[in-house]
């Protein structure tokens, strides 16, 4: 098999890159070691920056999002019961965010790819990347009883944090920066109406809480939990009781509860790999970086990586220029670190840290008081939340 761009990973970053390349007439093949059903079964984020929305428009997969997604002009943030609405539209020059689940984004991209007749290989085994330090890289894998070799010009590593691409880079060629947080998020998905028309981020002495949503009839809620916790230890009733304790009593009183569709615990970490280019292989999305979900940047950072990588491939194939390819890593990392900073700041502001001193807690509270009293601080938050320019 031969192609121009071999994309490893059929998550949203790989699918979005593939869709854009296909529409630009640049041949590509996507390979993933998971079945299609498994990929669609993963529950992920649902807040899209304007830049990500524009890219889905460009990819021709925005019709359902525009019909079913929810435009949010702000969100509520509270600290020990004191609430304040962050007016994103006011402080960002009229920008908003779109609430539309990552699962739906993935499904829309999969359907568009199938309609276009582009090749995706699911459930590939023993995926390996070869010779990416040379001009003729290739990918090998086992599929449906046979060994396959895929020759290509470039490899796009969109295969996530535990994928084969970053793991294949020699240790001396890459530097990893990481902070692991001493807590996780217990998330619950339920077919109940959202408790509020916008998101609620809440700090409480018992821990962080987030009221989110996927639609007008499906809600996604989170509470900060210990890394030693297990899903089995949390019944639905226990989850709802704890969530209500961490919210404004007026909000908690109108919450509609119901049986969970899905429950899971996600540990929180900040992670960046540098560089993101290794000869003819490029890392994008979670393969190159992870952010705590507090700032809603994970999927959005993947989209900006794809923007830079797609533009680089277009420059190479349409403009016979290598400038975009050579600049990809530095351009992407500049934006990545800014998003990492914002997500780190939101995480530190809103969570309860087990080793926090009295001074730490006072500074945390003062940070919140400054935020809600300063137009400049709210403008900074809004600018970052709706998404910095690409």
Q: Which two tokens stand for residue 125?
A: 């085994």
Query: Does the CA dihedral 91-96-101-107 come out positive or negative?
Result: negative
Which positions are annotated as active-site residues?
Answer: 72, 201, 293, 297, 385
Query: Does the CA dihedral 272-59-42-120 come out positive or negative?
Result: negative
CA of 109: how far to CAs of 15, 102, 154, in Å? 6, 11, 21
């Amino acid at each position: 098999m031969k192609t121009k761009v071999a994309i490893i990973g059929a998550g949203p970053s790989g699918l979005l890159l593939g869709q854009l390349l296909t529409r630009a007439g640049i041949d590509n093949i996507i390979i993933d070691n998971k079945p299609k059903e498994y990929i669609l079964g993963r529950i992920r984020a649902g807040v899209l920056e304007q830049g990500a929305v524009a890219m889905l428009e460009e990819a021709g997969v925005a019709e359902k999002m525009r019909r079913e997604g929810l435009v949010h002009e702000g969100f509520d943030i509270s600290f020990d019961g004191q609430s304040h609405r962050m007016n994103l539209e006011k402080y960002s020059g009229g920008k908003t965010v779109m609430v539309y689940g990552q699962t739906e984004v993935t499904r829309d991209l999969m359907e568009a790819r199938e309609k276009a007749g582009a090749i995706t290989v699911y459930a590939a085994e023993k995926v390996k990347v070869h010779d990416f330090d040379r001009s003729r890289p290739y990918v090998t894998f086992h599929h449906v009883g046979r060994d396959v070799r895929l020759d290509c010009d470039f490899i796009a590593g969109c295969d996530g944090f535990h994928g084969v691409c970053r793991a294949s880079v020699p240790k001396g060629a890459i530097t990893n920066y990481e902070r692991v947080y001493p807590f996780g998020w217990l998330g619950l998905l339920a077919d109940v109406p959202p408790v509020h028309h916008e998101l609620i981020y809440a700090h409480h002495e018992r821990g962080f809480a987030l009221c989110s949503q996927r639609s007008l009839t499906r809600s996604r809620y989170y509470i900060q939990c210990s890394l030693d916790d297990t899903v089995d230890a949390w019944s639905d009733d226990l989850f709802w009781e704890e969530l209500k304790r961490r919210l404004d009593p007026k909000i908690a009183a109108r919450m509609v509860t119901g049986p969970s569709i899905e429950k899971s615990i996600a540990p929180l970490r900040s992670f960046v790999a540098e560089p993101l280019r290794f000869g003819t292989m490029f890392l994008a999305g979670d393969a190159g970086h992870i952010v705590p979900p507090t700032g809603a940047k994970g999927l959005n950072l993947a989209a900006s990586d794809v923007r830079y990588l797609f533009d680089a491939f277009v420059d190479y194939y349409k403009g016979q220029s290598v400038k975009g390819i050579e600049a990809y890593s530095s351009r992407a990392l500049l934006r990545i670190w800014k998003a990492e900073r914002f997500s780190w700041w939101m995480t530190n502001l809103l969570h309860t840290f087990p080793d926090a001193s009295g001074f730490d807690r006072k500074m945390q509270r003062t940070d919140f008081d400054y935020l809600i009293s300063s137009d400049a601080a709210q403008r900074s938050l809004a600018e970052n939340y709706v998404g910095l320019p690409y």
